[in-house]
Chain A
Amino acid sequence: MTLYGYRVPMMASLLVWCVIWELVGQSGLMFLVPPLSSVMMAGIAMVQTGTWQAAALITLHSFAVGMVLAIVVGVTLGVLMGRFKAADELFSIWVNIFVSAPLSALVPVLMILFGMGETTVIVTVFLFAVWIIVLDTRAGIQHVPNSLIEMGRCYGASPFALYGKIVLLAALPEILAGIRLGLVRGVKGVVIGQLLVAIIGYGELFELYSRSFDMENFWALTIILFVAAMLMSAAIEHIEKKVDYYAGVR
C-alpha cells in the first residue's frame, strides 16, 4: 500500500493490530486479553526465569532432533521415490495419506508407545514434518530435466557425483521449500505434542499459566512461539530466494 506517495511495507500493518490489541486490553473488556504492553513486560520478566529457559531449551531440543530426523529421512525417501518407480509405488499412498491426515490423533498412541516424555514429542515433530519434505523432494527430483542427468553421464560422472553434484542441487529449490513447510509443521508438531503430553517444556508452562489464569504470561509464551516460528520460516525463505533464480530456468 502507498500512503502520501510512500510505500508502506506490508508487515507494517501488524503494528496496527498491536495497537488494537493494546486498546482492547486497556479497555478491560475481555479478561482473556490483557494489554499488549503488560504482556511484553511479563515476557521480558519471564525469559529471565530459569523455568522458562529450561522449558525453551527442552522444546528446542525436541524440535531440533525431530526436524533433523525428518529432513534426513524425508529427503532420502523423497529421492528414492523420485528416482525409483518401485519405491514411489510402494510409499506414495502412505505419504499422501499422512501428509493431510489429522496426525494429532496419533499422539495418544505415541504417548503409550514412547512414554510421557521427550521421545514422544520428538516423534510427533518428525511425523508432522516428514511427509511434506518427502513430497516436495520427490517433486523436485522428478522435475530435474533428464538432459541434465544424461549430460552428467556423458561426461562420466560417478553415481555419487551424479547425485551430489547434479540431482540434489537441481532439486534444491523444491527441497528447501519442502523443508520450510516441514519446519512450519514441525513447530505445530512440537506444540501439539507438548500440549498433549503436558508435563514437559512449553506444554507444561502453557498448562500452568492457563490453569492459573495468568494471561500475561500465557500470551507472552504464545508471542515468543509465534515470533520464533516466523523467524525460522523467514530464514529458510531467505536461503530459498538465493537458489530461486534457477528454479525457473532449469
Chain B
Amino acid sequence: MMASSQVNGPARAVHSPAGWGLSLGRLFTGHPIATRAISLGLFFLIWEIAGRVPISYAFPTFLDTLWAFVSMLLDGSLIIAYGSTVQPLIIGIAISAVVGVGLGIVMGLSRKAEWLVAPLFIVLQSAPMAALIPLITFVYGIGLVAKTLAVIMLALPVIVLNGYKAVRNANPSLVAMCHSFQGTRLQQISKIIIPDASPVIFAGLRLGLAAGFIGVILAELLITPTGIGDLITYHRSVANYPEMYAAVVSIILVSTLTLTALEAFEVRVLRPEKKRG
C-alpha cells in the first residue's frame, strides 16, 4: 500500500508515509487526552443515536454492541476465535519477515537481483492480490495452511519492497564514510547499510502486518469459516447484529492497538533521532 509510492513513485513521495506513520504513533501522545476523548465520545454518541432511531434494522446501538462485546469476552467465544485468527497471522508474518527481509536486502545490494525480482513485487504490491485467495482453497483446503498463505500473499510484497528500498537508499554519505575508513564490504553491509535500513525494514514489517490482518480476515470470510471471520459470518446469519458488530469492531481495535504499539516501539527504539523532545 504505502511502499509502492516509494518504489514506483517519485522520490518525494518517500516523505508521506513517514508523515502518516508518525501521526499514528502520536495517536496516544500527540493530542491532548481531552480532544481525543471528545472525538471518541462524539462518535459513540452519534452511533448510539443512529442505533436508536434506528437507521436500519441491522444497526444496533453502541451500548448493545458494547454489551455484546463484554459478554462474548466473558463467555470465551471471542478469545477462542482470536486464538484461531492470530495463529496463521503470526506464522504468516514470521515466514514473510524472514523471506521478505532477506529477499529485500539481496535486491537492495545486487543490481541483478533487483532487475529480476523488483518488478514482480512492484506488480504484486499494487495489484489486488485478494483475487487470488479463492485459488488457495483448491490446493490447501480450508485449514491453517490456507489462511497462512493468504497472509503471506498480502504481506510479502510490502515487506520485500520496503527492505529493498531501504537498503538501496542507504545513506550514501555514510557508505562513503565507511569506505574512507577502509571498511570491508561485509562491514559496510553489517555496520552501516543494515542499521541504516532497519527503521524502514521494520516499518515494512508493520505495514506487512496490517496487510496480513486484511488477508487473514478475508480468508476467514471467503474460504475457511473459522476464527473471527466465522464469528462475523455466524452472527450475521442468525441476525445477532450486536454480536456481529462487536466482532468487527474488536478486530479493528486489535489491529489498531497492535500496529500503534509496533509504531511506538519503532519510534522509540529504532529512530532515536525522530524521538520528540
Q: Select which of B5, B133, B213 is within 8 A of A102 by beta carbon.
A: B213
Interface residue B232 (Cβ < 8 Å from any Cβ of A): yes
Q: Select which of B4, B16, B36, B42 is within 8 A of A184 by beta carbon.
A: B4
Those of B221-260 within 8 Å (CB) of chain A: 221-222, 228-229, 232-233, 236, 241, 244-245, 247-248, 251-252, 255-256, 259
Interface residue B111 (Cβ < 8 Å from any Cβ of A): yes
The answer on a CB contact under 8 Å between A109 and B19 is: no
Using known A-B contacts A108-B221, A108-B244, determine if residue A102 contacts B236 with beta carbons closer than 8 Å.
Answer: no
Q: Select which of A105, A109, A187 is within 8 A of B217 by beta carbon.
A: A105
Q: Select which of B43, B59, B218, B244 is within 8 A of A94 by beta carbon.
A: B43
Interface residue A100 (Cβ < 8 Å from any Cβ of B): yes
The answer on a CB contact under 8 Å between B259 and A100 is: yes
The answer on a CB contact under 8 Å between B5 and A206 is: no
Q: Per-residue 0/1 for A206-232: is the Cβ within 8 Å of any B Cβ (1 yes, 0 no)?
A: 110010010000100110011001100
Q: How large is the interface on B (under 10, 10 to 19, 20 to 34, 35 or more residues)?
A: 35 or more
Contacts of A111 in B (CB 8 A): 236
The answer on a CB contact under 8 Å between A112 and B241 is: yes
Using known A-B contacts A96-B23, A230-B123, A244-B12, determine if residue A210 contacts B241 with beta carbons closer than 8 Å.
Answer: no
Interface residue A132 (Cβ < 8 Å from any Cβ of B): yes
Interface residue A139 (Cβ < 8 Å from any Cβ of B): yes
Rounded to whole angstroms, the CA-CA distance of A218 and B244 in the bound complex is: 32
The answer on a CB contact under 8 Å between B39 and A195 is: no
Q: Select which of B8, B15, B133, B232 is within 8 A of A237 by beta carbon.
A: B8
Q: Of residues A111, A112, A213, A221, which shows the largest number of chain B Cβ atoms within 10 Å of its Cβ? A: A112
Q: Of residues B20, B114, B132, B135, which shows the largest number of chain A Cβ atoms within 10 Å of its Cβ? A: B20
In the complex formed, the residue of A with least CB distance to B258 is A100
CB distance from A164 to the nearest CB of B (A): 23
Using known A-B contacts A93-B27, A210-B134, determine if residue A14 contacts B1 with beta carbons closer than 8 Å.
Answer: no
Contacts of A226 in B (CB 8 A): 123, 127-128
Interface residue A151 (Cβ < 8 Å from any Cβ of B): no
Interface residue B126 (Cβ < 8 Å from any Cβ of A): yes
Q: Of residues A8, A218, A221, which shows the largest number of chain B Cβ atoms within 10 Å of its Cβ? A: A218
CB distance from A92 to the nearest CB of B (A): 7
Rounded to whole angstroms, the CA-CA distance of A5 and B22 in the bound complex is: 43
Interface residue A159 (Cβ < 8 Å from any Cβ of B): no
Contacts of A89 in B (CB 8 A): 31, 35-36, 39
Rounded to whole angstroms, the CA-CA distance of A91 and B31 in the bound complex is: 11
Interface residue A75 (Cβ < 8 Å from any Cβ of B): no
The answer on a CB contact under 8 Å between A113 and B131 is: no
Interface residue A240 (Cβ < 8 Å from any Cβ of B): yes
Of A35-43, A47-55, A66-74, A174-182, the one touching chain B:
A174-182
Interface residue B115 (Cβ < 8 Å from any Cβ of A): yes
The answer on a CB contact under 8 Å between B1 and A192 is: no
Contacts of B31 in A (CB 8 A): 89, 92-93
Q: How many A-B residue pairs have CB under 8 A?
A: 202
Chain A interface residue count, Cβ-Cβ cutoff 8 angstroms: 71
The answer on a CB contact under 8 Å between A206 and B134 is: yes
The answer on a CB contact under 8 Å between A105 and B248 is: yes
The answer on a CB contact under 8 Å between B130 and A195 is: yes
The answer on a CB contact under 8 Å between A195 and B127 is: no
Interface residue A162 (Cβ < 8 Å from any Cβ of B): no
Interface residue A123 (Cβ < 8 Å from any Cβ of B): no
Interface residue B267 (Cβ < 8 Å from any Cβ of A): no
Rounded to whole angstroms, the CA-CA distance of A94 and B39 in the bound complex is: 8
Interface residue B56 (Cβ < 8 Å from any Cβ of A): yes
Contacts of B58 in A (CB 8 A): 112-113
The answer on a CB contact under 8 Å between A93 and B221 is: no
Rounded to whole angstroms, the CA-CA distance of A97 and B259 in the bound complex is: 10
Contacts of A14 in B (CB 8 A): 119-120, 123
In the complex formed, the residue of A with least CB distance to B218 is A104
CB distance from B253 to the nearest CB of A (A): 9
Contacts of A229 in B (CB 8 A): 126-128
Rounded to whole angstroms, the CA-CA distance of A103 and B251 in the bound complex is: 10
Residues of A within 8 A of B (CB): 1, 8, 10-14, 16-17, 32, 89-94, 96-97, 99-109, 111-113, 132, 135-136, 139, 173-174, 177-178, 180-181, 184-185, 187-188, 190-192, 195-196, 202, 206-207, 210, 213, 218, 221-222, 225-226, 229-230, 233-234, 237, 240-241, 244, 247-248
List 26 A-B pairs, Cβ < 8 Å: A17-B120, A92-B23, A93-B31, A93-B40, A104-B221, A108-B244, A112-B241, A132-B20, A139-B16, A139-B19, A177-B9, A177-B12, A180-B9, A181-B1, A190-B128, A191-B130, A191-B131, A192-B130, A195-B134, A196-B221, A196-B222, A206-B134, A210-B138, A226-B127, A229-B127, A229-B128
Which 3 interchain pairs have the tightest Cβ spacing? A1-B115, A191-B128, A102-B213
